[in-house]
Structure 1
Amino acid sequence: MKIRFDRLSNTPVNFQSSIDMVEFSGSIKKSSLNLAKCSGKLSGKLEHICDRCGADIVLNLDEELNLNLSDGIYKDIDNELSNTIEFYDGQIDTDEILISELEAFKSDYFYCDNCKILEGE
């Protein structure tokens, strides 16, 4: 789903996107001239592989997301890191946010039940 920055206001716009068995839903509202706030939730199941033995596993997602969305380049105040995604065509693409957040989630280490026992978890 694409939402134009110039159509956003203080009234939240609800959205819903999905890929395979993962759903991303929530709302977006304008917070300043070139900045919007996204409050959303990732939920569902994500196929992955065990980072130790390579076995197929399914990850259960239930993650709250609070993001800043910028219309163009964003500069952090006092060089503090923030959770901001930049868009350059005047539109927010919720499918792009979903893909980005899934890739960030998958960058962590995940183990199957057998490898968790070996690791002492």
Structure 2
Amino acid sequence: MKIAFAKVANQNVDFEIKSEELNFKGHLKRIDHKNVKCLGNISGSTAHNCDRCGADISLDINENVDLIVSDGVYTDPENELSDAIEFFDHQIDLEEILKSEIEAFKSDYFYCKDCKNL
């Protein structure tokens, strides 16, 4: 699901997308002429492999999303390490945000019930 940056005004733009067993729900709100705030929650479960033995496991996810979506290169006005995603086609791709956030979540270590006690 893509939403044009131009369609996001000062009012919240609600969204909800589903991908397999995951649900990404939240809203978008304009910060300034180039940046939009994305606040939401990802919930559900996703397949993964145990990082020790490789067994198939299912990860339950309930993660809040709070990031800045930029139309072009993001410049941080306060020189902080802001959580931001840049798009270069004047469209906010919510499926890409979901995929990125899931991959970031899965980059941690997860173990099956047999490997947790080792």
Separation in structure 1 between the aligned mates of residue 77 and residue 29 of structure 2, nearest angstrom: 21
Structure 1 ranges of 4+ moved more than 6 A = none
Match of 1:74 in 2: 74
Q: TM-score by structure 2 length?
A: 0.96
The CA RMSD measured in Å over matched residues stands at: 0.9
How many pairs does the alignment contain? 118
Q: Give the AA of the match of 2:57.
A: I
Match of 1:6 in 2: 6
User: Identity of aligned pairs, percent?
Assistant: 52
Q: TM-score by structure 1 length?
A: 0.93
Q: How far 1:54 moved relative to its partner?
A: 0.5
Q: Give the AA of the match of 1:33.
A: H
Q: How far 1:77 moved relative to its partner?
A: 3.0
Match of 1:93 in 2: 93
Match of 2:28 in 1: 28
For the residue of structure 2 that corresponds to 1:79, the secondary structure is coil
Structure 2 residue runs without a partner (length 5+): none
Separation in structure 2 between the aligned mates of residue 78 and residue 13 of structure 1, nearest angstrom: 26
For the residue of structure 2 that corresponds to 1:52, the secondary structure is coil
Structure 1 residue runs without a partner (length 5+): none
- Cα deviation code 1:25-79 (max 9, x no counterpart): 1000101110000101000011101000111110000001101000000012353
